[in-house]
Amino acid sequence: MGTLSLNDYEDVRIWAPWGHISGRWYGNRSDRPILAIHGWLDNLGTFDTLIPLLPDYLGVLCIDLPGHGCSSRVPSGIRYNTAEYILIITRVMKEYKWTKVSLMGHSLGGVLSFLYTALAPHTVDLVILLDIEKPPIDTTGRMDYFANIIDKTLVEEERAEEGSMHEPPSYTLSQLRSVLSKGSHDSVPPEFAQHLLYRSVAKSQLYPERFYFSRDGRTKYYTPLPATAGLIAELAGRIKNKPYLIIKASESHFIDSEDNEVISILKNQNPHFEYHEVSGRHHAHLTNAKECAQYIVPFLRRYRPPTVSSWSLSGEEQKLSQREHQKVQERFFARNIKRFNKL
C-alpha cells in the first residue's frame, strides 16, 4: 500500500451558527477519516509534512479551528474558549453523521482531543496526541494570565473594528517567515513557516508583494479550561481501554514531570496505551514528521486497519521517494502562494 498525497484532497466547509469551519479532507473519502486538529494560533497546514507519510487507505480530515486559518471568526463580543472548541468535534461528527471519531491533535488540538475523549469515551475509537498530554493546571501564574487577557481581549476587539477601516501591518513573505518563527519561540523554523502561512495571511491591498496575518487576533487570548490536578486526574480516569498514543518532543517542555501522574493513570488502566519520544521542539510533527510517522503509522495500521475494499495492488508502486516528496510539497506550496497574488 502507498501513502497519502498533499495533492489529493477536497476542501470542505462545515456549517456553524457563526459561519463555517474550513478543512481539507485528504485521501480516502469513502470511509470515516482521522480528524486532525492543529495547535493554538496554527492551522491545518501544521500537518503538511506528516500527511504524505500516512497510509493511503485512510482519509485524514484536517480542520481550522474558528478564528484560525480559513475558518470563520466568532462574532464580536464573543470570546474564544476551550469549551466551544471542544464542541467543534461534535459539530464535525454531526455534519458527517459519524457515531465514532478517531482523533489526532497537536498542542491545543491535543488538549481538545483529551477532553473530548474523557467526556464522551464511547464515541472515540483512537487518540493520537502530539507533544501534549493534558490541559495546563491552574497555578498562581495561570491566574496572572487570566487577569492579563481581560484587557487585551478588548484591545483586540478594538483592533478588529479598526481593521475594517485600516489594513493591519503588512510584511514581505520573508519577513512573515521570521515573524512566525519568532512567535513560535523557534519551534517552527523559517524554512517550515510556509506550511502555516498559506492559510493565515492575506494579500495587502495597499502594498504590492506584501501580506498581513488574517487570523483573528482574539485567538491569542482564548480562555482555557480552569483545571486542577484532581480534575485532570478524574478526567484521565474516564479514558479506559482506548488505543491511545502520545508522542513527546525531546526539546519541548509541554510534557514534563508534572504529567507523570496522568500518564500513569492512562497507562495502568489501558493495555492499548503507547508513549514515545522523538527529537525536536514543540512542532516536531512538522519538522521531524518522519520520526513521528514511525510510531503513528503502525499505530494506525493496528487500530484502523485497511478494509478489503481499500487494498490497492498498485500502492507500493506509487510510494514516493524522499526527493519526490519534496518536489510534490514545493509544487503544492508554490500553487498556494500564487493564489495570494490573485486576491
Closest of 64, 32, 58, 29 to residue 46, by C-alpha = 64
DSSP 26: E
Per the structure block, which three cell numbers stand in for 325? 516528496
CA distance 27 to 56: 6
Per the structure block, which three cell numbers stand in for 86? 471542544
Own/partner contacts of 303-306, CB < 8 Å, gap of 24 or more, are 303/125, 303/126, 303/243, 303/272, 304/34, 304/58, 304/102, 304/125, 304/126, 306/1, 306/55, 306/57, 306/58
DSSP 318: G
Closest of 294, 305, 304, 236 to residue 270, by C-alpha = 236
CA distance 150 to 172: 32
Q: Are 61 and 37 in contact (CB under 8 A)?
A: no
Tell me which residues are annotated as active site: 107
Per the structure block, which three cell numbers stand in for 196? 502555516
CA distance 305 to 126: 12
Q: Kindly report the backbone phi and psi dihedral angles of residue 281, in degrees, each rounded to the nearest multiple of 5, phi listed first.
A: -95, -165
CA distance 20 to 14: 5
CA distance 169 to 163: 10
Q: Concatenated DSSP letters for 66-77?
A: TTSTTSPPPPTT
Listed in order, strand segments (DSSP E) in the chain are 9-16, 19-27, 34-37, 59-63, 101-106, 124-130, 201-203, 211-213, 244-249, 273-278
